[in-house]
Amino acid sequence: MIIAIDGTLASGKGTIARRLSRWFGLAYMDTGQLYRATGVAALKAGADLSDAKSLAAVATSLDLNDFEAAELRTAEAGQAASKVAAIPAVRAALLEVQRAFAEQPGGAILDGRDIGTVVCPNADVKLWVDASVEVRAKRRWDELRAKGESLTLDNMLAQLRERDTRDKSRSDAPMIAAADAVLIDTTDLSIDAAVDKARAAVEAVIARKS
Using CB under 6 A as the criterion, which residues of the chain lie in contact with ligand DC when the complex forms?
A: 9, 31-32, 35-36, 78, 81-82, 85, 112-115, 163, 167
Nearer to ligand DC, 5 or 202 (CB): 5
Q: Check: CB of residue 36 under 8 Å from CB of residue 77.
A: yes
Nearer to ligand DC, 164 or 204 (CB): 164
Q: How far is the CB of 14 from ligand DC (least distance, A)?
A: 7
Nearer to ligand DC, 38 or 182 (CB): 38
Give the strand order in the sheet containing 108-112. Answer: 27-30, 108-112, 2-7, 125-130, 182-185
Q: How far is the CB of 1 from ligand DC (least distance, A)?
A: 19
Q: Report the alpha-carbon distance of residue 80 to residue 24 in Å, rounded.
A: 33
Q: Check: CB of residue 77 under 8 Å from CB of residue 106.
A: no
Q: How far is the CB of 209 from ligand DC (least distance, A)?
A: 25
What sections of 25-181 are H helices per DSSP?
32-44, 52-60, 69-72, 75-84, 88-102, 133-146, 153-169
Q: How far is the CB of 24 from ligand DC (least distance, A)?
A: 20
Nearer to ligand DC, 113 or 126 (CB): 113
